[in-house]
Amino acid sequence: MARIAAHGGGLVILLWLLLVVGGSVSAWFSNDKSQRAKNEQPDSATGTKPDTQDQSCFCHLTGVLDDCFCDIESIDVFNNFKIYPRIQKLTERDYFRYYKVNLKRPCPFWPDDSQCSIKDCQVEPCPESKIPVGIKAGNYNKYSQASNTRSDIEECEHAHELGAINSTLSNQSKEAFEDWARHDDAQDHFCELDDETSPDAQYVDLLLNPERYTGYKGPSAWRVWNSIYEENCFKPRSVYRPLNPLAPSRGDDDGEGFYNWLEGLCLEKRVFYRLISGLHTSINIHLCAQYLMDEGWGKTVWGPNVREFRHRFDPAETKGEGTRRLKNLYFLYLIELRALYKVAPYFERSIVDLYTGSAQEDATTKDLLLQIFNEIKAFPMHFDEKSMFAGHKMEAKTLKEEFRLHFKNISRIMDCVGCNKCRLWGKLQTQGLGTALKILFSEKEIKNLPENSPSKGFQLTRQEVVALMNAFGRLSTSIKELHNFRTLLSDQR
């Protein structure tokens, strides 16, 4: 009986082992088959079959983004089919193609590194004769043409600057109040704005000066980004490592380092880093997509450089950080998308015209803009800015001011870029993001603005509007270019 029991117990154990191992093997084969079937499905964004070896830049670029509730695939479809075609048309209109900028402002942080002498670094200014008359009128175009008689302008300016203050106030008191009003407006600004009245400020036709690789690189370019990451991004005081994604590694960085300490920061500080990283990523994608390919026979050819794209975003060449950089681009896209959603009521008022001096041009431009806003309103997964600066009132106010000043400092660093074309697009995209942050975190109410009162509450200058839409257009282009690079990598198999 003991032998039977022993043999019976062994048989039970043997059967149990067969069931467990068999089940595990079966599950393994089932999972492997499922995974292979999944890999053989066409990619939703490209229509091609992914290959993790040939498309390692994209193999983990999927799923829900950190710090928000939106998935990358939804953004791809929304941007590439609904937003990108419209934003391209919008930024080609006269109102958005001419941007006034001062490219001669000195670097406020270190001696000039000398200007880039490469011909592709130069910016072609736009003659005054080419600028539409309505745009040359400056802030005159913020409101409808009908309301812009001289007396109306003076009345609006008086109401905006002096409010209900009695006209018998002394000049000194009026100046003090005006200083206070300017200071109050400045609290909304997240970036350093160029003085459009400066003799050094000039109009630039953005269509004639496209953003692309100019050859500007080396210590001067590295110094700009290093200053942005090392001196202006939030990080624990006890941690030191090269935050610049393009900075040389110290040898002990496994690619996970910055995310390990980033997760220890509060939401606002994580968001700040991800915005800067996303902006950097977007700019690098533009340079990879419009790379100088050939200058032979007197003809310059620009096009996508897959090798350069891999260098900047392949996990194998970036110690695992390439995919995170791309995810930060999507995160930045959501932030600016949310700002446009929030500011839509401002532009929907009939009193706000995109004034160029041509009624037909203005109507077409505003119609395109409102089409974009309608698409944005239908997007179901917007970032919730109310989750930020929502703690203890005084602590939140202090953190918000620190956040604002850090970003404002970064906008000033753009005046240290040695390549004029790089400086142009860096300033425009930084100012566009700064305008988006102003919209998201302004204490002035944007909704329910009086239809016929342009002088009260939230305001945007033409410079801010042009920067806002062009910056978002650049992000939209970056996401579209990712689709193109995915296709190119697939074709190389």
The answer to the question of whether 26 is labelled as a binding residue is no
Residue in 126, 156, 288, 419 annotated catalytic: 419
Helix/strand number for the chain, H first, E second: 16, 4
Cβ-based burial of 147 (10 A; exposed 0-12, middle 13-18, buried ≥19):
middle
- Binding site annotation covers 62? no
In 10 A of CB 123, how many CB atoms?
19
Strands (E), 151-239: 201-205
Q: Determine contact, residues 316/112, Cβ cutoff 8 Å.
A: no
Whole-number Cα distances in Å, 391 to 235, 326, 339, 396: 20, 30, 21, 6
Q: Is 422 a catalytic residue?
A: yes
Q: Looking up tokens 């110290």, which residue turns up?
A: 250
CA distance 287 to 301: 14
Residue ranges of the alpha helices (H) in 254-305?
A: 257-262, 267-289
Instruction: Write phi, then psi, for 205 (nearest 5 degrees).
Output: -85, 110
Please measure the distance between the N-terminal and C-terminal CA atoms of the chain and give it in whole angstroms.
67
User: Comparing C-alpha atoms, which of 319, 203, 315 is closest to residue 255?
Assistant: 319
Burial state string for 55-84 with b = 16 or more CB within 10 A and e = fewer than 16: bbbbeebbeebeebebebeebbebbbebbb
Catalytic residue among 68, 116, 126, 422: 422
Give the pairing of strands 98-102 and 201-205. Answer: antiparallel
Which two structure tokens, joined as six digits, stand for 191?
């970036």
Cα–Cα–Cα angle for 45, 46, 49, rounded to 5 degrees:
115
Active site residue 419: yes
Contact 470, 207 (CB under 8 A): no
Q: Is 46 annotated as a binding residue?
A: no
311 is in an annotated binding site: no
Q: Is 312 annotated as a binding residue?
A: yes
Picking from 143, 121, 202, the residue whose alpha carbon sits closest to that of residue 353 is: 143
Is residue 168 packed enough to be buried (19+ CB in 10 Å), middle (13-18) or exposed (0-12)? Answer: exposed
Q: Is 406 annotated as a binding residue?
A: no
Contact 102, 463 (CB under 8 A): no
Binding site as annotated, residues = 212, 214, 225, 277, 280, 312
Provide the annotated active-site residues.
419, 422
- Residues of the binding site for FAD: 212, 214, 225, 277, 280, 312
